[in-house]
């Protein structure tokens, strides 16, 4: 019974993957899959069957690469409900797991406390969590990449609209065999690539990258410079909130403006341009996808709580607008080319004249609230570009039947 209901659940899933759906590679009520037999996808890339991880005797249903000798499970159906004996009931797999979740350990695929997914703010970001604590943040989607990171391996895409956020990474070269692992042993998100010559998995990339990559390492308005000691320094125009604590390498209180600032007073209020910083946390930001940078500046200037602005997208020479209203959180020197960030402080620039020019054009907007539904599949497991995009569609169907 237990196995049957599991098989039914798996069958439902398989119907959504065309490579599995020919007569010879499906399971049905009449033709269940007994432990010991496997299904192979039509293109010969994936194999599905029962397995026991590491030293465990529990049985799980999983998918692994058929084509490589080292059996590497990339997806598990019944992570929380292994089959122990015939009396065990495996329920159909009804809730969606919308995050990548690490295995507890390499003998036990049940969910650990290390997860990765899309953070639902005004701009999508990829975030890793350790329990409920934010652990690492990618930086916002800038129209081309997340946080400026690009890789020749993938074409990345975020689709953001009022109903959903869909993140896809499409493998450019379909002959590449690759997977992402949330590795709870070391708390890294690791991408591996299969190397045919050495017949082994080679580590391709690993996040966090350095000790500035953890979430908010230097407190509000503090900048993290991995190559320097101490690595936390206040941004130009800011000073430690508590100099004693900052000197003692306790950076949690961060930094405050060093010069007296007065809202919309010439010489006492302006925007200083910073380049090469990771964009601060955007969860409480306001965005407008069509504003120009000059309009964005004027919009920030009008509101005394606005702390900084930047273009939303790097495409078309920079477009759209992000405004930050709280302290600037989780700053670091970017590891990749970064866009300009304009931070408000006692600084003289041409802001008044600019603001006057654009005053008439500025429309007072209401906060854009996206009712975002998280749709993320990078897959723990994941995998072959082809299956990734299918899986996103699959989730899509589940949420929007
Ligand atoms: C987890 O990371 C460690 C250190 O990089 C590595 O030795 C280990 O093989 C990784 N585990 C998996 C399952 O990839
Ligand atoms: C300034 O922006 C904040 C955050 O969006 C908003 O709550 C506040 O009403 C704005 N103030 C004015 C005067 O527009
Ligand atoms: C975004 O900016 C454009 C151009 O300034 C404006 O027409 C539009 O109303 C703005 N949208 C919102 C929601 O503020």
Q: What is the pLDDT of residue 392?
A: 32
Which of 263, 284, 303 has most ligand 2 atoms within 8 Å of CB, for mutation? 303
Nearest CA to ligand 2 atom 4: 325
Structure tokens at 264: 């919309």
For ligand 3, say whether the CB of 93 is within 6 Å of any of its atoms. no
Mean pLDDT for 126-150 is 88
Q: Between these two residues, 362 and 251, which has the higher pLDDT value?
A: 251
Q: Whole-angstrom Cα distance, residue 325 to residue 312? A: 15
Nearest CA to ligand 1 atom 5: 186
* Secondary structure (DSSP) of 104-145: EETTEEEEEEEEEEEE-SSS-EEEEEETTEEEEEEEEB-SSS
Q: Indicate the pTM of the whole model.
A: 0.73
Q: What is the pLDDT of residue 352?
A: 56
Please report which confidence band the pLDDT of residue 43 belongs to, taking 50, 70 and 90 as the band edges: confident
Q: What is the pLDDT of residue 97?
A: 42
- Residues with CB under 6 Å of ligand 1 are 106, 181, 183, 185-186
**Residue indicated by tokens 């603001």:** 355
Nearest CA to ligand 1 atom 3: 186
**Residue 297 Cα, ligand 3 centroid: separation in angstroms?**
14
Q: Say what percent of the chain tops pLDDT 90.
A: 46
Mean pLDDT for 361-390 is 33
Name the closest ligand to CA 306. Answer: 2
Please report which confidence band the pLDDT of residue 235 belongs to, taking 50, 70 and 90 as the band edges: very high
- Residues with CB under 6 Å of ligand 2 are 286, 303, 305, 325, 367
Please report which confidence band the pLDDT of residue 24 belongs to, taking 50, 70 and 90 as the band edges: low
Q: What is the pLDDT of residue 387?
A: 31
Mean pLDDT for 29-54 is 83
Nearest CA to ligand 3 atom 5: 291
For ligand 3, say whether the CB of 369 is within 6 Å of any of its atoms. no
Mean pLDDT for 195-217 is 94
Contacts of 320 (CB under 8 A, 6+ apart): 287, 288, 289, 290, 291, 296, 311, 312, 313
The number of angstroms, rounded, from the C-alpha of 280 to the middle of its chain's C-alpha atoms is 15
Backbone φ and ψ for 388, nearest 5 degrees, come out as -60, -45
């Amino acid at each position: 019974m237990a196995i049957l209901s599991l098989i039914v659940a798996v069958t439902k899933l398989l119907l959504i993957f065309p490579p599995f759906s020919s007569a010879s590679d499906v399971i049905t009520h009449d033709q269940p899959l007994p432990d010991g037999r496997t299904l192979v996808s039509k293109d010969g890339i994936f194999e599905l069957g029962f397995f026991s991880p590491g030293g465990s005797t529990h049985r799980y249903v999983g998918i692994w690469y058929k084509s490589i000798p080292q059996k590497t499970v990339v997806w598990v159906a019944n992570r929380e409900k292994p089959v122990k004996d015939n009396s065990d009931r495996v329920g159909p797999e009804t809730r969606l797991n919308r995050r990548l979740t690490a295995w507890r350990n390499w003998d036990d695929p049940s969910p650990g406390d290390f997860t990765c997914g899309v953070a639902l703010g005004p701009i999508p970001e990829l975030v890793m969590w350790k329990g409920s604590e934010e652990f690492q943040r990618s930086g916002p989607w800038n129209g081309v990449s997340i946080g400026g990171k690009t890789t020749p391996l993938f074409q990345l895409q975020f689709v953001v609209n009022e109903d959903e956020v869909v993140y896809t990474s499409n493998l450019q070269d379909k002959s590449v065999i690759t997977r992402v692992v949330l590795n709870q042993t070391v708390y890294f998100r690791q991408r591996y690539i299969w190397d045919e010559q050495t017949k082994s998995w080679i580590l391709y990339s690993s996040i966090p990258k350095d000790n500035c990559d953890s979430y908010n390492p230097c407190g509000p308005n503090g900048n993290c410079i991995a190559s320097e000691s101490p690595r936390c320094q206040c941004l130009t125009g800011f000073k430690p909130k508590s100099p004693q604590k900052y000197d003692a390498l306790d950076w949690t209180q961060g930094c405050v403006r060093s010069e007296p600032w007065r809202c919309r007073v010439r010489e006492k209020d302006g925007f200083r341009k910073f380049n090469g910083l990771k964009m601060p946390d955007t969860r409480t930001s306001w965005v407008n996808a069509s504003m120009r940078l000059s309009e964005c500046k004027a919009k920030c200037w009008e509101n005394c709580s606005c702390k900084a602005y930047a273009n939303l997208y790097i495409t078309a020479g920079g477009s759209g607008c992000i405004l930050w209203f709280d302290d600037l959180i989780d700053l670091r020197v970017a590891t990749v080319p970064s866009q300009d960030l304009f931070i408000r402080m006692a600084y003289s620039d041409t802001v008044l004249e600019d603001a006057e020019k654009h005053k008439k054009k500025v429309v007072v907007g209401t906060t854009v609230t996206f009712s975002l539904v998280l749709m993320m599949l990078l897959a723990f497991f994941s995998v072959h570009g082809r299956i990734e995009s299918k899986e996103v569609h699959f989730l899509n169907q589940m949420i929007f039947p």
